[in-house]
Amino acid sequence: MNHSIYDHDGRHTAHCEHDEKSSAAPVTQELIIEGAGCASCVGVIERAINKISGVVKAAMNSALHTVSVTGTVQTERLIEVAESADYTAKNINSKPNGECWYE
C-alpha cells in the first residue's frame, strides 16, 4: 500500500511501501472443495485453512462443497493447503467463460 509522500504539514517525507499482506483489509473468498461432503471432511478443511496466518475465519458448506474464507491470504495459498489435506480446491470464480460451477 502506498502512502502519501507528504506529511500532514505538507513537508516532503520518504515514499513508503508496505507489504500488502500485513496492511490489506480482509476479504472473503470462496473455493469449491471436491470430495469433501461429510462432517469429518468439513472439519479437516476448516481446521487446515483456519491455521493459515492471515485467515480470520474459514467456514465450509458441505451441501454446496464450498468453503468461505475471510482474511488476507492469497487464493493460491488456500488451494495449496486444501490440496495438502488431500482435497481438490478451485477458486469459485475461475471457471472458464464465466460458466457456473453448479450446472
Q: Are 52 and 71 within 8 A, CB to CB?
A: yes
Q: How far apart are CA 78 and CA 66, in angstroms?
A: 12
User: What percent of the chain stands above pLDDT 90?
Assistant: 59
* pLDDT at 18 (0 to 100): 37
Q: The pTM is what?
A: 0.68
pLDDT digits (tens, 9 = 90+) for 13-54: 443 333 344 468 999 999 999 988 788 999 999 999 999 999
Any alpha helices (H) in the chain, and if so which ranges?
Answer: 20-23, 39-50, 75-84
* pLDDT at residue number 23: 63
Please give the share of the chain, as a percent, with pLDDT higher than 70: 68
Q: What is the pLDDT of residue 15?
A: 39
Q: Is the pLDDT of residue 74 over 90?
A: yes
pLDDT, residue 103, reads 47
Is residue 55 within 8 Å of residue 70, measured between CB atoms? yes
Q: Which three cell numbers stand for residue 17?
A: 511501501
List of domains in the chain? 25-94 (3.30.70.100)
